[in-house]
Homo-oligomer: A and B are copies of this chain.
Amino acid sequence: NINPQRLWDSLMETAKFGGTAKGGIKRLTLSDEDRKVRDWFKAQCEALGCTVSVDEVGNMFAVRPGRNNELPPIAMGSHLDTQPTGGKFDGVLGVLGALEAMRTLHEQGYETNAPIEIVNWTNEEGSRFAPAMLASGVFAGVFTPDYAYERLDRDGISFKDELERIGYRGTEKAGAHKFQAMFELHIEQGPILEDEQKMIGVVTGVQGMRWYEVTVTGQDAHTGATPMYLRKNALLGAARIIEAVDAIGQKHQPGVATVGLIENKPNSRNVVPGEVFFTVDLRHPDEEVLEVMEQEFRAALEAALTPMKLAYEEKRIWNSPAVKFAPELIECVEHGADKAGFAFRRMVSGAGHDAAYIARVAPTTMIFVPCEGGLSHNEAESTSFDECAAGAQVLLNAVIEHDRR
């Protein structure tokens, strides 16, 4: 059995790397804080006798040998980066829960058949560098390393420069590191488990998601001297699209649709805004409905902006199709939850996860635990001591079960 207190202590210890006044974490990928938590993680794994390697996009692999090292390892992985106003559990629980499982194996001298490893995937959040799940995507062959290197944050700084700056551009080719399966423990980030009082979510797949960037161009003008009928107000156009995107989400529930980021120019109190950049995030478990949502979004752009004499550019920058996880791994998770005596239910993930890309190259699944009020991407994100422990225990059980089979 895992050690719940040790797990909790590690969660609280690493929460200091980028800890915020409101109890959350701001640890954007490839920042100095990210470097610090990576250094800490590496040291902890090495203390267990694991070998830590880093690939060309900064993914970290900590391997503990098994009885038969010809077998590809069984991986447990998630991410240590966070949102700008992130919580203490999103991603972190998956890595530290895996570390706790590894520590338990080490402590008990438990010998697995295959090697076991922990993976820390780079830039899962996609907040600093879009898209999300970038480096697991490179690992899975969805993106090239160069595509990742060229991603720019909103200040124009590249993924590559930052990866090198923090010293985590490894030499191993992305994807060269093979494993036979991956289990990702994560907080649900939604309200279902809490509502139904289930401790464990057995994740059967991930919904499809698409990201877009839109730039609306009008004309900077004086707010006092420009009559209403002469305006080309880019922010008013953007406001209408924000409304339309929300309506698309409302219409296609359980799909969701959101404008999360907006930049207004020149952003001056007495200037009618001349240019607005914003992003759109559309998701649905059913690809066909997602396609309809996309069409409706594009139609809304045209219908709203053209009559306003606003020009616009729209680009789909990411399309991550709906994913189904591996049945044999799902069974291992159910077996693991059952063995530990936890109530569980199958569910589809609303959030994207590295597991969604890894599923393309290895059997993969996920384990969810509840979070308070379903709240995530929020500094107040909260998963209890017992819930964290339950997740790590089921992760260990599932890995052992898979190794046994």
**A-side interface residues toward B, CB under 8 Å?**
83-85, 125-127, 130, 132, 188-191, 207, 209, 211, 219-230, 233, 235-236, 238-240, 242-243, 246, 249-250, 253-254, 256-274, 279, 281, 283, 349-352, 374-379
A154 to chain B: closest CB distance in Å? 8
A183 to chain B: closest CB distance in Å? 19
Give the complex CA separation of A254 and B228 in angstroms. 8
With A219-B375, A279-B269, A375-B219 as known contacts, state yes or no: A242 contacts B253, CB within 8 Å.
no
A351 cross-chain contacts in B, Cβ below 8 A: 222, 224-225
Give the complex CA separation of A125 and B266 in angstroms. 13
Q: Which residue of B lies closest to A236 (CB)?
A: B246
A85 cross-chain contacts in B, Cβ below 8 A: 220, 265-266, 268, 271, 274
A83 cross-chain contacts in B, Cβ below 8 A: 220, 266, 268, 270-271
Chain B CB count within 10 A is highest, among A211, A236, A352, for: A236
With A219-B375, A220-B85, A227-B190 as known contacts, state yes or no: A126 contacts B270, CB within 8 Å.
yes
Q: Among B224, B228, B279, point to the contact of A281 (Cβ < 8 A).
A: B224
With A239-B243, A378-B221 as known contacts, state yes or no: A249 contacts B228, CB within 8 Å.
yes
Q: Is the CB of A374 within 8 A of B226?
A: yes
Q: Which residue of B lies closest to A190 (CB)?
A: B225
Chain A to chain B contacts (Cβ below 8 Å), 22 pairs: A83-B266, A83-B270, A126-B270, A127-B266, A127-B271, A132-B270, A219-B375, A220-B378, A221-B376, A223-B258, A223-B260, A224-B352, A226-B374, A228-B253, A243-B243, A259-B273, A260-B268, A262-B267, A268-B377, A270-B281, A270-B352, A270-B377
Give the complex CA separation of A260 and B275 in angstroms. 11
